[in-house]
Amino acid sequence: MFTEPVTEIIRRRYSCRRYLDTPIEEQTQQQLASFVAATTIAPFSPTPARFVLAAAADQDPLELRGLGTYGFIRNPTGFIIGAVGPGDKNLEAFGYLMERIVLFATGLGLGTCWVGGFFTRSGFSRKIARKGRETIPAVIPMGYAADAGGLGDPIRRVAGSNQRLPWEALFFDARWGVPLSPEAAGAYAEALEMVRLGPSASNKQPWRIVREGDRWHFYLQRTPRYPAGGLGKLIGIVDLQRVDMGIAMCHLELTAAELGLAGQWQICDPGLEVPGDLTSYTASWVGG
């Protein structure tokens, strides 16, 4: 699926907000469009998602007119647009699938950025021909990066995108409050590090993982009062922290596969005591 180790791609990916005014090469578009078309079902959710590539062409530079992100992104020459209907783990599945596409695009040499808050939903809805009760949780502007590594990006500095929570705040051994060290994680240390490096809305990193034998239980630990209530719902912002959980699950699974660590997703809540009402179980990776 990837032409280089996924761990290298994860480490190289960053939220790119400024792009060169250069259309994505036709061969790259074809590769990406084929991958997008084949990305529909997550292994832990029966709810399918749809994704399309909308890319500007030399002969039609206005093709992306109407697809806006309120000035946060400059000169994107393409977008990945996704829609998902209601269903069990639908937002987690969306995040899992979209992040696979993001990593594939990164491997093709493209810059990308998750945009899940403020974008013109009407334009993107028309582009993907949104159906019935489908929602568009996020879009991915993309193109050839104009800013290597996001240097000089003020939004990146405000969001703290270069900062990540430490291991002891994210990963636990057998129960909450007992930090899991990289040494104790053994063969899964690299996979957990790739989870830690994952993107998330406002860089809140809401995922928490508790190891129980060969089971890695994923929990959502919500950020208090995030996202902002009334306005967010009014303009159609979904529960982005559930989308973030899917991103984390994607990183763990892809890295485990690359390392030869067999496993599968199961919904098997271990019933562990959690820190409070803001924490809830999502799914478990069960090693083979």
Contacts of 47 (CB under 8 A, 6+ apart): 84, 85, 86, 87, 88, 89, 90, 93
Average pLDDT over residues 170-191: 96
Note the pLDDT of residue 101. Answer: 98
* Predicted TM-score (pTM) of this structure: 0.92
The H or E element that residue 142 is part of is strand 139-143
Domain that holds residue 260: 164-287
140 and 39 inside one domain: yes
| pLDDT bucket at 151, cuts 50 / 70 / 90 | low
Q: Of 114, 78, 86, which is closest to residue 98 (Cα–Cα)?
A: 114
Is residue 156, in this structure, part of any structural domain at all? Answer: no
Least confident of 21-35, 58-72, 135-149: 58-72
* The pLDDT of residue 286 is above 60: yes
What pLDDT, in 10s, does the model give residues 228-284? 554 455 556 789 999 999 999 999 999 999 999 999 999 999 999 999 999 999 999
Nearest to 90 by CA among 216, 242, 198: 242
Q: Which positions ≥6 away from 29 have C-beta within 8 Å?
A: 53, 55, 78
In a domain, 168, yes or no: yes
Residue 262's pLDDT is: 97
In a domain, 159, yes or no: no
Query: What confidence tens digit (pLDDT) does each residue in 197-222 have?
Result: 999 999 999 999 999 999 999 999 99
pLDDT, residue 122, reads 82
Q: How many CA atoms lie within 13 A of 88 on its CB side?
A: 7
* Position with higher pLDDT, 33 vs 234: 33
Q: What percent of the chain has pLDDT over 90?
A: 75
Q: Give CA–CA dist 65/265, Å, rounded.
A: 40
**Are 168 and 146 members of one domain?**
no
Last residue of a domain, which of 104, 124, 151? 151
pLDDT of residue 157: 44
The answer on pLDDT for 125 being more than 70 is yes
- The Cα–Cα gap between 82 and 68 comes to 15
Q: Which of 77, 225, 214, 215 is nearest to 140 (CA)?
A: 77
1 inside domain:
no
Same domain, 46 and 141: yes
Burial letters for 238-267: b for 16+ Cβ neighbours within 10 Å, e otherwise? bbbbbbbbbbbbbbbbbbbeebebebebee
Q: CA 211, 215, 219: angle at the middle one, nearest 5?
A: 60
Q: How many domains does the chain have?
A: 2
Indicate if 174 and 240 belong to the same structural domain: yes
For the domain that residue 234 is a member of, what is the CATH number?
A: 3.40.109.30
157 within some domain: no
Residue 170, C-beta contacts closer than 8 angstroms, at least 6 positions apart? 192, 195, 196, 205, 207, 208, 209
Rounded distance between C-alpha atoms, residue 161 and residue 190, angstroms: 20
